[in-house]
Amino acid sequence: MRYYKTTRGNGRYIGRTASFTVYSDSLDSPITVGERVTEAAPGELVFNYGPSTGGMVESARIAITTPGEIIRSIRVDPTYKMRKLKITGLALDDAFLQIERINGYHSSSYQAAFLKAAEDALLPDPNQSLDEMLVLQMELERIRSHMNVMERLCEPAGFGVPYHQAAQLREEVSRLISSIFGHRYFFGVHSASHSTVNFNTGILKQSGDIERRFSALFESLQDSKIFVNRLQNTGKIDKHWLVGPAARAAGYRYDARIDSPSLDYRKYGLTPYIEEGRDAFARFLVRGNEIYSSFAIVNSIITDGSPECAKISDMHGSGTGASRVESPQGDLFCYLSLKNDKVEKIEFCSPSTSNIIAFEQSMPGNVFTDFHFNWESFGIWISEAGVSIE
């Protein structure tokens, strides 16, 4: 392991895996967290939402304790749809098929975390061209993911036109991804036999056009008093352990793109965009502004870069590696141990696990109608929080 030391906690707290407490610069022994129980006081009721409801994109049970309009506490149970992925004992390329599908919406982030951990375990030096490919994938993924959060924020507000405009832009980004990588969710991009990507000359024009129309939508939403009022002061949270846009919306300059050595972002001159509001509106502003910086990185790679796919078939041997990358929703950590070309141990720490706790802690004191806005503002994906990896 080049970047991670197994010492006492060094750096900022990222989260937990089955075996470790993960900090930005080190791994420590695991900490146990007590069971979270929801009990209603006299005059209160526990209202269960889900696990299957059309109002949510994925299955999760949400228990809301309330004496009426105000929410006193809220608990999210992501385990109903718990998939059991069996990755231990698989060769790297077979393991990769499952890694891509832990959270398909953020497949590139998982691909990057896994490939960089494998590289850390097996290869003497990082591959700069692979880094460019992974950065390109992840920044396109970030643009789409942030647009998706905006679209989801417009829906409960009943804002039909901006909701459809955001959905249209998100679909255009999916088509752009498909035209470059052959698949709308980047599956199979690093496949040994067909790892071709298509950089045609129209990509820059297309991405410029999407960015211009996104900018008009983003500005219109900021000018809408009703939209701003729904999000301002909703779901306020300020904790040192926040990750991703939630952390940056609370004034923390946390971003694995600048504070993790796993993927090389130095040449893009990225400065994290910070807000101080700590609420759903600040998270919206962070995401919107990050779309601009992601477009700038994408354009610079398409213009000047020489991105290359991974050669997974060339990765052989035994070793232990770790990596941390900035997925659209925050730090994604991967620990990987390989023995004779096979996965011996693999663990992830996902941003949605941290964001679920942040959502729970930011909800008390808010009213019922804030629930959907606040949930969407964290961009949580249950598939990466409720998954067991063996």
Partner 1 sequence: MRNSIWFLKGLRNGKKTERFPAADPGEPPLWPSVLEGKGEAACPTNALESGEWNAGKCIACRRCVPQYLPTGNQKTYSLSQVAPRLLSRSFYLYQVDSGTCGACNAELLSILSPQYDASRLNIFLTNTPRHADALILMGVYTEGMDEVISKAYEAMPDPKLIIALGTCAISGGVIGKAPVLSSKAVVEIQGCPPSPYTILEAIVEAKGGVK
Q: What residue ranges bind partner 1 (CB under 8 A)?
A: 51-55, 57-59, 79-85, 94, 97-98, 101-105, 107, 148, 159-162, 164-165, 167-168, 170-171, 174-175, 178-179, 182-185, 187-188, 191-194, 220, 224, 226, 381-384
Within 104-163, which residues bind ligand SF4 (CB under 6 A)?
Answer: 104
And the tokens for 367?
A: 């009213």
Q: Are 234 and 303 in contact (CB under 8 A)?
A: no
Distance CA 174, CA 183 (A): 9
Least distance to partner 1 from the beta carbon of 65, Å? 22
Residue with the closest Cβ to ligand SF4? 101
Least distance to partner 1 from the beta carbon of 100, Å? 8
Which amino acid, residue 312?
I
H or E stretch at 74 = strand 73-77
- Whether the upstream peptide bond of residue 51 has omega within 30° of 0, thus cis, is yes
The binder of 57, among partner 1, ligand SF4, none, by C-beta within 5 to 8 A per type, is: partner 1
| Options 61, 81, 101, 342; binder of ligand SF4; rule CB under 6 A | 101
Distance CA 127, CA 319 (A): 18
| CB within 8 Å of 35: residues ≥ 6 apart | none
**Which C-beta is closer to partner 1: that of 3 or that of 80?**
80
The torsion region of residue 188 among left (phi > 0), alpha (psi -120 to 50) and beta comes to: left
Size of the site for ligand SF4 (CB under 6 A): 2
**Which C-beta is closer to ligand SF4: that of 101 or that of 372?**
101
Least distance to ligand SF4 from the beta carbon of 193, Å? 9
The binder of 239, among partner 1, ligand SF4, none, by C-beta within 5 to 8 A per type, is: none
Distance CA 152, CA 148 (A): 6
Q: Provide Rg for the chain, Cα atoms.
A: 21
**Which C-beta is closer to partner 1: that of 197 or that of 302?**
197
Least distance to partner 1 from the beta carbon of 218, Å? 13
**Which C-beta is closer to partner 1: that of 278 or that of 287?**
287
**Which C-beta is closer to ligand SF4: that of 141 or that of 370?**
141
Q: Are 140 and 184 in contact (CB under 8 A)?
A: no
Q: What is the dihedral of CA 223, 224, 226, 229, to 10 degrees?
A: -30
**Which C-beta is closer to ligand SF4: that of 58 or that of 347?**
58
Least distance to partner 1 from the beta carbon of 259, Å? 27
Distance CA 19, CA 133 (A): 31
Q: What is the DSSP letter of 285?
A: H
Q: How many residues does the chain have?
A: 390
Least distance to ligand SF4 from the beta carbon of 242, Å? 28
**Which C-beta is closer to ligand SF4: that of 28 or that of 93?**
93
Least distance to ligand SF4 from the beta carbon of 207, Å? 25
The site for ligand SF4 (CB under 6 A) is made up of 101, 104
